[in-house]
Structure 1
Amino acid sequence: MTTYFISRHAGAVDWAESEGFHVDARLAHFDVAIVQAGDRVLGTLPINLVAEVNARGGTYFHLTLELPSDARGKELTAADMRTYGARLEGYAAQKQV
């Protein structure tokens, strides 16, 4: 089982690890083809990629924060993320045919 954190922000990975989530690989760009059954993917993916992660047997955890507009576009530290209520929430999606 591999845990991927999809983010360009080092502070996000620091935050996740400080919250007890072990991260095997941080990726700035995500190719869903790497996901194998049992893998965990953390980040802020669009719904179509979440569905593909789930279809491949992976589990997706969405990074959610209550970010005020004046903090958008800035590099956040792990402490900043705690201040803004960062959390990882599990989601599952399935493409309808």
Structure 2
Amino acid sequence: MSLYFVTRHPGARDWAGEEGITVDQVLEHLDPAIIQPGDTLIGSLPVNLAATVCARGGRYLHLSLDLPPALRGQELSAEQMRACGARVEEYQVRRMG
């Protein structure tokens, strides 16, 4: 079982380290084929990829932020992420039909 963190943002990597989140591998982009039953993935994935992670038997932990409009589209520091209430929340996502 592996713990992956999918992010291309340095501030998110810094935030995770400062929060004591230890992962097996940081990925800039996810190839869903690597997910095995029992793996856990942290990230902010599009819903279709989150559903694929869950369908493959993985756990999806979403990196959630309460991001004000003024900060959208900007690279955030770990400090800014904390100020925006950065947290990891588990979701179970599945495609209907």
Alignment TM-score, normalising by the size of structure 1: 0.89
Equivalences, count: 97
Structure 2 segments unaligned to the other structure (5+ residues):
none
Question: d(CA) in 2 for partners of 1:8 and 1:65?
Answer: 16
Partner of 1:12: 12
Secondary structure at 2:53's aligned position in 1? helix
Question: d(CA) in 2 for partners of 1:96 and 1:73?
Answer: 31
Structure 1 segments unaligned to the other structure (5+ residues):
none
Q: CA deviation at 1:16?
A: 1.8
Deviation per residue, 1:34-70 (Å, 9 max, x gap): 0011111111111111111111111001111111222
In the TM superposition, 1:14-29 aligns within 5 A as: 14-29=14-29
In the TM superposition, 1:67-86 aligns within 5 A as: 67-86=67-86
Q: CA deviation at 1:3?
A: 1.3
Partner of 2:89: 89
Identical residues among aligned pairs (%)? 53
Letter in 2 for 1:7: T
Question: d(CA) in 2 for partners of 1:26 and 1:10?
Answer: 11
